[in-house]
């Protein structure tokens, strides 16, 4: 099971001042704690970040998780931080599907759970995005420019290194305004990037010269970025803002967009319908528009029933789901040489 968990470290600034630099993530399936974070991919500490998230792709909701702060020489802080919340990394739940009218008498919990796993995977593969906050480490190649495009929407940047030398994050502008300011036009989730901040001066009224800033090198994967990433949205009534003025770290990491939850639930329900015996499948299959000839405005509707299930509508069996998922697909980034 893909499990997510969160750690709250309210005294992170104090721990950093004492020399602690990163977090060792451990889990206990029942036989003692073992580390699941790699030595080079441990979440780094940042004094303006008090909430850290991590995921265990092969975890279990019944296991214990904790964070141990460590120094660069491996010294561990004496008191571990227990996970404050543990939850399944999913876009719909068994209860969501049951609420749509899929009864346990028709299909078992285990079968529904297997459909949920497939729906989650399909959504991520189709959109090339994920929709929960997740800790990631990216090794990327720049273009010798002050702007670096990333593939995943940015929630919070925790550390940036170039040629194994840490960069001061205060020198960078992070595109995550949808969480910090509630700004969705332009939508930074569609254009994730970090940029060196710099000013400009005018020379002779014609030429512009940069006053500082830097560039991301074009040699192979020498820029490394640690942070929280994911295509999330603020919940209704959620408060946008920063942990500290100018930190560029949002107060709220957001959660799964409502439309993604709807798509995941409907995908599972559609997979469940062929097992139902109450005629529910006919409601879905009959009278769907299966052909539209726009020139002469000719429309053809389906009259198929449960005995003639076809796959003409692809995996989702729903143009509505396809249309919604298309709006969440990761844009193509083009480069010119």
pLDDT, position 334: 63
Is there a single domain that holds both residue 264 and residue 127? yes
- Give, in order, the Cα–Cα distances in Å from 57 to each of 70, 94, 224: 24, 19, 22
Say if residue 282 is in the same domain as residue 300. Answer: yes
236 in a structural domain: no
CA pair distance 115, 123, nearest whole angstrom: 12
Domain end, chosen from 29, 59, 88, is at 88
Last residue of a domain, one of 229, 246, 274: 229
Let me know if residue 69 belongs to a domain. yes
- Rounded Cα distance, 181 and 178, in Å: 6
Is the same domain home to 269 and 122?
A: yes
State the CATH number of the domain containing residue 12: 2.60.40
- pLDDT value of residue 80: 94
316 by Cβ neighbours in 10 Å (0-12 / 13-18 / 19+) ranks as buried
Tell whether 138 and 182 lie within a shared domain.
yes
Q: Is residue 82 part of a domain?
A: yes
Parent domain of 317: 94-131+258-326
Confirm whether 24 is domain-assigned: yes
Residue 235 lies in a domain: no
In sequence order, the 6+-apart residues with CB closer than 8 A to the CB of 148 are: 140, 142, 193, 194, 195, 216, 223
What is d(CA 311, CA 315) in angstroms, rounded to the nearest whole number? Answer: 7
Tell me, yes or no, whether 309 lies in a domain: yes
Q: Which of 88, 121, 146 is the last residue of a domain?
A: 88
Phi then psi dihedrals of residue 199, to 5 deg: -105, 175
Query: How is residue 110 written in tokens?
Result: 């285990």
**Measured distance CA(119)–CA(247) in Å, rounded:** 36
Looking at the structure, do residues 34 and 114 belong to the same domain, yes or no?
Answer: no
Residue 211 covered by a domain: yes
Quick one: pLDDT at residue 201?
45
Same domain, 48 and 76: yes
Give the model's pLDDT for residue 331.
81
Residue ranges of the chain with per-residue pLDDT less than 50: 199-212, 276-279, 306-312
- 76 SS3 class: strand
Total domains in the fold of the chain: 3
């Amino acid at each position: 099971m893909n499990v997510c968990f969160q750690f709250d470290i309210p005294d992170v600034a104090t721990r950093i001042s004492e020399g602690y630099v990163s977090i060792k993530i451990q889990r206990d399936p029942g036989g003692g704690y073992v580390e699941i974070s790699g030595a080079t991919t441990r979440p780094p500490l940042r004094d303006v970040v008090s909430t850290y998230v991590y995921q265990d792709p092969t975890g279990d909701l019944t296991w214990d998780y904790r964070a141990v702060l460590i120094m660069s020489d491996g010294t561990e802080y004496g008191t571990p931080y227990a996970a404050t919340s543990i939850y399944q990394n999913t876009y719909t739940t068994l209860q969501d599907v049951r609420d749509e009218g899929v009864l346990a008498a028709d299909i078992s919990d285990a079968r529904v759970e297997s459909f949920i796993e497939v729906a989650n995977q399909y959504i991520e593969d189709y959109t090339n995005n994920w929709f929960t906050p997740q800790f990631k480490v990216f090794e990327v190649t720049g273009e010798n420019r002050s702007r670096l495009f990333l593939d995943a929407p940015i929630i919070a940047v925790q550390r940036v290194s170039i040629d194994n030398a840490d960069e001061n994050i205060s020198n960078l502008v992070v595109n995550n305004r949808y969480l910090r300011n509630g700004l969705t036009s332009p939508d930074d989730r569609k254009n994730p990037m970090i940029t060196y901040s710099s000013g400009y001066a005018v020379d002779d009224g014609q030429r512009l010269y940069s006053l500082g800033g830097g560039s991301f090198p074009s040699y192979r994967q020498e820029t490394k970025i640690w942070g929280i990433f994911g295509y999330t949205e603020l919940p209704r009534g959620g408060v946008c803002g920063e942990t500290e003025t100018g930190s560029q770290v949002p107060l709220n990491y957001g959660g799964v967009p409502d439309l993604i939850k709807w798509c995941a639930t409907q995908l599972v329900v559609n997979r469940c319908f062929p097992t139902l015996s109450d005629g529910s499948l006919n409601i879905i299959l009959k009278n769907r528009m299966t052909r539209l000839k726009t020139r002469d405005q000719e429309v053809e509707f389906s009259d198929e029933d449960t005995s003639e299930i076809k796959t003409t509508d692809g995996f989702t069996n729903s143009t509505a789901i396809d249309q919604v998922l298309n709006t969440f697909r990761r844009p193509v980034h083009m480069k010119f040489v």
